[in-house]
Chains A and B, each alone.
Chain A
């Protein structure tokens, strides 16, 4: 059974940093590209970032480029999202998901990030 479990969310002040983790199990983690998607309270889904199976290439939405960094440790079956220079508009539930056939196949339960003073 595929499982994705995010952690690391919480309350952070504007300008602060946070690192999210996504622990994967039930599939060959290194064989799949992975992605982060977020959802602000009461709002729609927004694609944030993706990385290929090796982690050698990374991609970002314009809204987070230069502030967020996606990475992965295939030896630990874990995906990360380092978030710096956080803004109020980054407040959201952050989901990790694997990419298969250019779709977000399985999703984690999400972790809430709140940026507020």
Chain B
């Protein structure tokens, strides 16, 4: 149950796109199409942004998109807005009803 690997921080200017990577193993990210991403603003509760790699819950803007290749999943945020500045966490199902999170990425909107 080792944590997934995410960059500590990423940044982008308003209107630009950023991509956050999430690297695991064949036992989690690479083994299942059950990667989800969460947004957490300071002092707030995490919010589900994508699930099953590419799907978005109702109400999440289509500026947020997920993808996966092999053992690496990614979250791309296009048309950056100031309100997108937050911490982002990936999470993968790891089999036998267990899950593993990434260490989190701080997104700064310049």
Closest B residue, CB atoms, query A106: B48
Contact A95 B46 (CB under 8 A): yes
Contact A62:B52 (CB < 8 A) given known A44-B104, A52-B97: no
Which of A45, A52, A57, A109 touches B101 (beta carbons < 8 Å)?
Answer: A45
Which of B3, B38, B52, B96 touches A102 (beta carbons < 8 Å)?
Answer: B52
Minimum distance in angstroms from B49 CB to a CB of chain A? 10
Contact A103 B1 (CB under 8 A): no
- Using a CB–CB cutoff of 8 Å, the interface residues on chain B facing chain A are 1, 3, 32, 34, 36, 38, 40, 45-48, 51-52, 55, 57, 89, 91, 93, 96-104
Q: Does A32 contact B (CB under 8 A)?
A: no
* Chain A residues with CB under 8 A of B96: 59
Contact B45 A109 (CB under 8 A): yes
Closest A residue, CB atoms, query B46: A107
Closest A residue, CB atoms, query B50: A103
Q: Mark A78-95, 1 if CB is under 8 A from B, else 0.
A: 000000000000000001
Contact A47:B45 (CB < 8 A) given known A61-B1, A101-B51, A104-B91: no
